[in-house]
A and B are shown apart, each in its own frame.
Chain A
Amino acid sequence: MEFDALLLSRIQFAFTIAFHIIFPAFTIGLASWLAALEFNWLRTGNPLYRTLFRFWVKVFAVSFGLGVVSGIVMSYQFGTNWSRFSEFTGNVLGPVIAYEVITAFFLEAAFLGIMLFGWERVGDRLHFFATCMVALGTLISAFWILSANSWMQTPDGFAIENGKAVPVDWFKVVFNPSFPLRYAHMVLGCYLTTAFAVAGMSAWMLLRHPHDAPEAKLAGSRRSMSMALWFATIFVPVQILIGDLHGLGVLKYQPTKLAAIEGNWDRMSNMPLRLFAIPDEVAETNHYEIGIPKIGSWVLTHAFDGEVPGLKEVPPEDRPPVWPVFFSFRIMVAIGFAMLGIGLWSLYLRWKGTLFTNRTFLTAAMIMTPSGFGAVLFGWFTAEIGRQPWVVYGHLRTADAVSPVSAGAVTASLLTFVVVYAFVFGFGSYYLAKLLRRGPDPIEDIRGDDLGKKPKRPFSVPDEGLEGRPGHKALPVR
């Protein structure tokens, strides 16, 4: 493997986008979670919901800030590192990505300020409207970017003229075959990421307090955890179902990717469900395979003797790297089923009435805090590595998409990104962890705060200091 501009650009893109996706995956879910909390506050007038809103909006603000910062880099990298991709797809994907940009732009400009700072000024109803618009904005933003990504997986509605893709039917471009289910799968993935993060962080707060602590200290964490777990219990099964349907689409439109996911070398009916194997790309076979006979075919075709395509049907240069796709997929699915287990366990404990006191469960929920991020990342590894060697499936190879830049320049930029991201996001994560450690304020602590006097920045929402112990507030500016 030669470290040329191509490989380095791929590493750089993978690194920057994997870093970036963490924040939107969290904020898409958090925005809707905040809308749900505020809705409950307006409906019931229970101050608990307002306290929770005020806590989680801090986490949202910091994550959103970090997401914007890491996102700026993305809109330039298509050109800096993938100019031949830009040339080939520009007519089609240019406007689609532009719609993503202007949606984010509009959201940032219009409603975020009101949501973060305007509650005292605009009143409950308008503020709730702003919160809903921010949530809607994150969903629309995701709509366009996933449409663009799906087009790269299952391109449609275009013709090739003069070596470039040109749009023929915009509806088909935007709603290309893999888009609807990919969008559903990703949005639900974001929601579940948030649900498990909220549940896990709340479980952690409950673990840190003795359970005979004053009710006011625990109520917020209990309510957060309960709401998040209800959501997870209901929607993890839905997500597994959507994932399965999405897999049928992969079988239809990207058979080679599917063969890599399954580690299936020869076309076969009665394919086993491979739980584990070491795919060997040289010998074109699997070692140490453990599988359940026929179930693989059944999952994919809903018939025990359904035919599943094999990797050997295409020449080696048209196959994706098998083992990363094979394992990423299995890790994602394993996380999904662990989530399902937590959901069922929580139902049982609710029935027993020990949901908030069972320390084993709370510990398990705490450990599952980052599970959604893991599932999202490994899901994307499966989708994107599985798309290789194509950048636009079947039409443009990744190797033909790279910019005419020197390996030296990309090495330098990649190293810089690694150092800068480590520094910036290290501080960001540290600060986020500190906010979470402090937890929601006890209910009686709520007072009219002085947000009106602070600089209007996302980070102005939390008042936690950057240094010092948790709970130590930032000193006012002198």
Chain B
Amino acid sequence: MFGFGTEYEGLAFWLPLIWSGLIAVAVAMYVIVDGFDLGVGILFKAAHNENWRDRMMFSVAPIWDGNETWLILGGGGLFAVFHVAYAVLMPALYVPIILMLIALIFRGVAFEFRFKAERSKFLWDNAFFFGSLLATFFQGMVLGAFVQGFANDGRQFTGGTFDFLTPFSVLTGISLIVGYALLGATWCVMKTTGELEIWARRMAVRFLLLTIVAMAAVSVWVPFLGRAIETRWFTWPNIAFLAPIPLVTAYVAYRLFRDLEEGRHYRPFFLAIGLFLLGYLGLGVSLFPYNVPPNLTIWDTSNTVSSQLFALVGFAIVLPITFAYTAYAYWVFRGKVAEEISGGGYGYH
């Protein structure tokens, strides 16, 4: 496929592709579902009052806890089928991954305790905000480091602890913060009412503009990484197939801006997700079939056929059920969060 991996035959060729697809879906799910609730956390400090913060937190409370299990699935899935990639990537990303996990711990615990706290509420507010902000930043750095590539000998990481830390990865870290903030803001537009919704709309417009700037900055920077990613995009006939991606991205961004202006409730959130998926697609096009850039492909890093098949049985059973259950949970908690969430009256309309 695409001239890659053709030295492999049968299952040895197809299984890594199937698994890449599954893990790509899991990561996309993670980015979408945890993206908006991390975004809500990023906007948390800027919210004007306690009632707004309660409502923002309440809007994600019922559904966010499935989200971090997608992250465990990402880590577990990588180890399950691309153990060489796991073995190279994890030490290379030691610092950002550990810091991201710690930020997520803080954030998760803040979620639990904030609802129980009175005097110490400010403490959990801060834990929630900084946890969300830092987890996002380090995720963005992981992404940037991934695009840069990793020094390796085909089995182990051979670079240094701080190889990940470059101006580019700082840029991707900041980009992800503004991107998640956009997702979070459009989520709040969808889930809240009144002044909070108006404020969220304003935030969404602001972060949409910043997201566009960030996407442009990253795209402009990539050719300077020396990874020759740009040749994939700008050679004929690729350019004809790939040109729609940036064009559609531009259109979605424009449509999102108009929707926010026109006062739509639901569509901005889905358009923001669309924007993310397009960026993700662009990234996939740039990197495929390498899952340890710049030199190891999904075929180089995958487990034996028997190992991949064994794991596939479990995933084939669990993934559809999980999707169905996730969809059901979102359906149950659809609609906007009530404005007055005091006493026994808080909950969904």
Residues in B300-343 with C-beta less than 8 Å from chain A:
303-304, 306-308, 310-311, 314-315, 318, 321-322, 325-326, 329, 333, 341-343
Beyond A94-B83, A98-B314, is A465–B118 a contact (Cβ under 8 Å)?
yes
Give the chain B neighbours of A91 by CB distance below 8 A: 83, 303-304, 307
Within 8 A of A (CB), among B57-79: 57-58, 61-62, 65-66, 68-69, 71-73, 75-79
Contact string against A for B residues 69-110, beta-carbon threshold 8 Å, 1 for contact and 0 otherwise: 101110111111101101111110111011101101110110
Of chain A, the residue at the smallest CB distance from B104 is: A72
> Cβ of A456 < 8 Å from any Cβ of B?
yes
Which of B88, B97, B314, B321 touches A83 (beta carbons < 8 Å)?
B88
Count chain B CB atoms within 10 A of each CB in A83, A408, A416 and give the residue with the most.
A83
Q: Which of A106, A166, A417, A475 contacts B102 (CB 8 A)?
A: A417
Q: Which residues of A contact B349 (CB under 8 A)?
A: none
CB contacts (< 8 Å) of A101 on chain B: these are 72-73, 75-77, 80
Q: For the complex, what is the distance from the CA of A424 to the CA of B115, rounded to whole Å?
A: 15
User: B-facing mask of A222-237, CB < 8 A → 1, else 0?
Assistant: 0000000000000000
With the chains together, A105 CA to B26 CA distance in Å?
13
A254 within 8 A of B: no
A427 to chain B, nearest CB (A): 6
Chain A residues lying within 8 Å of B66, measured Cβ to Cβ, are 108-109
In the complex, chain A residues whose CB is within 8 Å of the CB of B345: 453
- Cα–Cα distance between A101 and B91 once the two chains are bound (Å): 21
Contact partner, B80, options A69, A72, A97, A477, Cβ 8 Å = A97
Given that A80-B97, A101-B73, A404-B91 are known contacts, is A467 also in contact with B118, CB under 8 Å in the complex?
Answer: yes
A87 contacts B84, C-beta separation under 8 Å? yes
Q: Identify A79's interface contact among B71, B91, B326, CB under 8 A.
A: B91
Contact at B90–A80, with CB atoms within 8 Å? Answer: yes
Could you say which residues of chain A place their CB within 8 Å of the CB of B160? 406
Q: Are A87 and B98 in contact (CB under 8 A)?
A: no
Minimum CB–CB distance for B113 against chain A, Å: 6
State whether A98 touches B80 (Cβ < 8 A). yes
Q: Is the interface of A mostly helix, strand, loop or mixed?
A: helix
CA distance A94 to B311 in the complex (A): 8
Interface check B238, CB cutoff 8 A:
no
A65 within 8 A of B: yes
Judge whether B306 and A167 touch: CB under 8 Å: yes
Q: Is the CB of A459 within 8 A of B112?
A: yes
B86/A90 in contact, CB under 8 A = yes
A109 to B160, CA, bound (A): 38
Q: Is A476 an interface residue (CB 8 A)?
A: yes
B111 within 8 A of A: yes
Contact check, A79 vs B105: say whether CB atoms are below 8 A apart. no
Give a binary string over B39-69; 1 marks a CB under 8 Å from any A CB, 0 the rest: 0000000000011001001100110011011
Q: Which residue of A lies closest to B110 (CB)?
A: A424
Kindly name the residue among A87, A90, A454 whose own CB sees the greatest number of chain B CB atoms within 10 A: A90
B128 contacts the other chain (CB 8 A): no
Top 3 A-B pairs ranked by shortest CB distance?
A90-B83, A79-B90, A98-B80
Which residues in B have some Cβ–Cβ distance to A below 8 Å? 50-51, 54, 57-58, 61-62, 65-66, 68-69, 71-73, 75-81, 83-84, 86-91, 93-95, 97-99, 101-102, 104-106, 108-109, 111-113, 115-120, 155-158, 160-161, 303-304, 306-308, 310-311, 314-315, 318, 321-322, 325-326, 329, 333, 341-347
Residues of chain A having any CB pair with chain B under 8 Å:
65, 68-73, 75-76, 78-81, 83-84, 86-87, 89-95, 97-102, 104-106, 108-110, 113, 166-167, 170, 403-406, 408-409, 412-413, 416-417, 420, 424, 427-428, 431, 450, 452-460, 462, 464-468, 474-478
